[in-house]
Amino acid sequence: MVDYIDQEETSEDSDELYEHHRIVVDSRQSLLRIDKFLMDRLPNVTRNKLQGAIKSEAVQVNQKPVKVSYKVKPHDVITITLAEPPRDTDIHPENIPLDILYEDEELLLVNKTAGMVVHPAYNNWNGTLVNALVYHLQNLPTTRNGEGRPGLVHRIDKDTSGLLVIAKTDYSMAYLAKQFFDHSIERTYYALVWGDVKDDAGTITGHVGRSAKDRKVMTVYPEGDYGKHAVTHYKVLRRFKYVTLVQCNLETGRTHQIRAHMKYIGHPLFSDTTYGGDKILAGSPVGSYKSFVENAFKLMPRQALHAKSLGFIHPLSKEFIQFETELPEDFRAALEKWSLYEDQ
């Protein structure tokens, strides 16, 4: 008996850490509880995780949510949105201070500092947000089997500051992953970009994928022949002559989406070394202005991007909740410096 399984979405080029499966049930399939059916077909997925996904409506049959007791029938079309499984690498708890804005039995909200990597990876096995979260969660009663593994459902770049939501149960992981997949999570970023953005508001639409020349850089493919569909809405908050403060709202969550999209329309992020924003891109790079910009770079030696607010439906209360953070010190200092230059 063979099922057709289609991996529709993965997180390779996405800031959203989920995987999406589509299964068409074989015509010879006998009646079987859906959790047992899926256990045999999805690798490295526990019964608890599947049941949590079913209860959170992240598992749907023929485009409708079902109960755990539902019995799979021939020709059923099953779609599953699951949080990405933990990596095989051992994660060591580290006592790293965290700015936790909110926490309950299901989730917590963290205001990540710039310079902190979200999860362990090549060249960054320690000192990450996940190492800090494992330490924070290890003694909580919600920790399962002593693992203390936090539930990441999205991420932000190392040198981007701001909000992340962390799931503490399988149910919440599935519930939040489904919202990210449905693009119903409300995410607002503040970005300082080079140049005077012409329109007060606009929408950037263009597939985002890895550059053929440099795998560390994401490129916009406007014809849609490569990469993944990406949409960024923006509006101007303040103009500073040679740079502009913009608010960006993500409709999708691709890797480096805002950084790639803003460069695509001719406005790279200020101090963004990867996308060319660490050079003077507006105004004459000479004399006192050159010295001014170099000092501004020193105040903010990373891309000027902050995840300002995050809104979503709470897994238990089913109410919409929203969190917001202040701009970090380096971002405020850069804005203040550009404000003084504007007044000259």
Cβ 80 vs Cβ 53: under 8 Å? yes
Q: Catalytic positions, please?
A: 157
C-alpha 242/C-alpha 143 separation (Å) is 50
Of 163, 145, 164, 146, the residue nearest 154 (C-alpha):
164
The helix/strand/coil state of 161 is strand
Q: What are phi and psi of 245, to 5 degrees?
A: -90, 120
Inter-axis angle of helices 287-299 and 329-342, to 10 degrees? Answer: 160
Within 8 A by CB and 6+ apart from 204, the residues are: 231, 232, 233, 234, 261, 262, 264, 265
Over its C-alpha atoms, the chain yields an Rg (Å, rounded) of 22
Inter-axis angle of helices 47-55 and 170-181, to 10 degrees? Answer: 50
CB-side exposure of 75: number of CA atoms within 13 Å?
Answer: 1
Secondary element (H or E) of residue 185:
none
